[in-house]
Amino acid sequence: MMVGVAGGMNKRGSYGSMADRVARSQGEGSAAPAAGASAPASPVKHCWVSDEHGRLPALLLGWRRTASGFQGRVVRPVPDEDGWIVVEEWLPADRLAPA
């Protein structure tokens, strides 16, 4: 037996369509990109880290200048006695290479 629901599933009433409600909730001047617009490029970059374990993949999160030169902030895998762990650290630029 089917039970009817008052108004049915397509009733929009005074609220309008879902698209209308979403557009209203974002308001004018919203930071949301327009349809078809691409999102800004991520500052996170793939890179390679060279160390005593060889050349390993990493994610470069940012740069800083120190008295000894530039350093890159990376997240990367490092071998551990139980396998691999992920670490975040600042490394000298000469240990990093673009992916």
Q: Read off the pLDDT band of 43 (50, 70, 90).
A: confident
- Give dist(CA 59, CA 47) in Å, integer: 6
Q: What is the pLDDT of residue 78?
A: 93
Cβ atoms of 20 and 13 closer than 8 Å = no
Q: Which residue has the higher pLDDT, 62 or 18?
A: 62
| Highest mean pLDDT: which range of 23-27, 34-38, 71-75 | 71-75
Arithmetic mean of pLDDT, 28-44? 65
Q: So what's the pLDDT on residue 20? A: 67
Domain with residues 45-98, CATH architecture: Roll (2.30)
Residue 37: phi and psi, rounded to 5, are -80, 145
Residue 97 and residue 16: Cα distance in Å, rounded?
53
pLDDT the model gives residue 63: 96
